[in-house]
């Protein structure tokens, strides 16, 4: 509970903290920005449904009937329409329910929206937001669980962010809708039911700034999205055994190397957590940049935790070993300092069902 005072009555009243889900935070940011800016509209498959886009567009069709567009199954076509609308001054939100579906619109995202302003001398912005669901989901198998973070992070002209919490999801979407550049918001569906205290009013989070979640002096842990959620959980397992500095990278294009470098200079150790395949991933790029920085003196070799370089299995008996868990992260940290490892078996629910935790 928090105490507030009404100015006119000058009497104290109590208001409970407002805890909402990740998906609800996205819906609220969209609703508030559509109310504030008539140029904003939504386009995508199923966005007009009562619980459209996993609840992230719920109710918006009834509130803004002329600005929520359901479409035929033609990702290239409707994404191209939205890019054209952005070039002509509107501010579309394009929703792709799976990253694999967005690849059908790769030309419109990577070649048109990302390059347009550059090709025409910087005076022709493309203010568009691509909301794309990524990552793990029970039983979805090889073709519906990819994240492809590095694919988007590699494209000049795109700003690419990955919200790790409900508050960050709302703040980043607001910033994306105020930006003149194409912004890709990669949303780990694994996090859609986690909860947090999120301000009711409009607020923004920087699109290019990493956040230090926990300060520490012995090792820097860099993570993002659902990997950051697991890294948060590992803190309780490690306890006071290791003094961890945990960084939410937030953006993968651009990456806030200043914050990362300052942390690793202090700790001398680095662990990167990815929930995608190990080859060419974000953690590999961070480690490479740290290794190139001559002002950083490492006390031990950097450690990278990620998924194996095979497609994600459908079987739960196999996915049990696919994604880095809180135990994997904790033991990677403990082994760096030659501390006793944790022998803990995670439950089926912890391994395979999306979390519903409330985070600080």
Please provide the average confidence, as pLDDT, over all residues in the chain: 94
For residue 215 the two structure tokens come to 């300060």
pTM of the model: 0.94
Helix 282-292 crosses helix 257-267 at what angle (to 10 degrees)? 60
pLDDT digits (tens, 9 = 90+) for 238-279: 999 999 999 999 999 999 999 999 999 999 999 999 999 999
CATH architecture of 211-352: 3-Layer(aba) Sandwich (3.40)
Q: Are 171 and 205 in contact (CB under 8 A)?
A: yes
Residue 272 to residues 14, 91, 168, 170, Cα–Cα distance (Å)? 42, 35, 20, 25
Residue 16, pLDDT > 70, answer no
Q: Can you give the pLDDT at residue 138? A: 85
191 — alpha (psi -120 to 50), left (phi > 0) or beta?
Answer: alpha
Cβ-proximal residues to 59 (8 Å cutoff; 6+ apart), any chain: 27, 31, 50
Same fold? 19-197, 211-352: yes
CATH number for the region 19-197 comes to 3.40.50.970
> Structural domain boundaries of the chain?
19-197, 211-352
Q: Are 242 and 333 in contact (CB under 8 A)?
A: yes
pLDDT digits (tens, 9 = 90+) for 313-360: 999 999 999 999 999 999 999 999 999 999 999 999 999 999 999 998
pLDDT digits (tens, 9 = 90+) for 102-161: 999 999 999 999 999 999 999 999 999 999 999 998 889 999 999 999 999 999 999 999
User: DSSP 3-state helix, strand, coil percentages of the chain (rounded to 5)?
Assistant: 35, 20, 45
Q: What is the dihedral of CA 113, 255, 249, 242, to 10 degrees?
A: 160
- Please compute Rg for the chain using Cα positions: 21
Distance of CA 144 to the CA centre of its chain: 17
How big is the chain, counted in residues?
360
Residue 219, pLDDT > 80, answer yes
């Amino acid at each position: 509970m928090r105490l507030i005072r009404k100015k006119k009555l000058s009497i104290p009243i109590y208001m409970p903290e407002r805890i909402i889900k990740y998906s609800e935070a996205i819906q609220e940011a969209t609703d508030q920005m559509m109310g504030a800016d008539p140029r904003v509209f939504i386009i995508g498959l199923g966005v007009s449904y009562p619980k459209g886009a996993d609840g992230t567009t719920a109710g918006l069709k009834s509130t803004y009937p002329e600005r929520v567009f359901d479409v035929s199954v033609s990702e290239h076509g409707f994404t191209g329409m939205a890019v054209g609308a952005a070039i002509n001054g509107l501010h579309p939100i394009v929703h792709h329910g799976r990253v694999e579906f967005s690849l059908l619109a790769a030309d419109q995202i990577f070649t048109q929206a990302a390059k347009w302003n550059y090709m025409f001398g910087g005076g022709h912005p493309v203010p568009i937001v691509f909301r794309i669901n990524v990552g793990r989901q029970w039983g979805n198998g090889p073709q519906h669980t990819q994240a492809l973070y590095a694919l988007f992070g590699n494209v000049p002209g795109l700003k690419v962010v990955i919200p790790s919490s409900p508050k960050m999801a709302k703040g980043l979407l607001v910033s994306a809708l105020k930006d003149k550049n194409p912004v890709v918001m990669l949303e780990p569906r694994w996090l859609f039911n986690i909860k947090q205290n999120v301000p009711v009013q409009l607020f923004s989070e920087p699109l290019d700034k990493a956040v230090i979640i926990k300060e520490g002096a012995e090792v820097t842990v860099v993570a993002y999205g659902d990997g950051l959620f697991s890294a948060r959980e590992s803190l309780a397992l490690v306890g006071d055994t290791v003094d961890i500095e945990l960084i939410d990278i937030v953006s993968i294009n651009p990456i806030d190397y200043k914050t990362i470098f300052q942390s690793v200079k202090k700790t001398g150790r680095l662990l990167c957590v990815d929930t995608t395949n190990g080859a060419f991933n974000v953690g590999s790029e961070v480690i490479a940049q740290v290794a190139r920085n001559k002002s950083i003196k490492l006390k031990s070799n950097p450690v990278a935790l990620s998924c194996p370089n095979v497609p994600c299995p459908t079987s739960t008996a196999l996915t049990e070993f696919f994604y880095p868990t809180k135990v994997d992260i904790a033991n990677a940290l403990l082994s760096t300092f030659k501390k006793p490892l944790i022998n803990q078996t995670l439950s089926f629910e912890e391994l395979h069902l999306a979390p519903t935790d409330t985070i600080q």
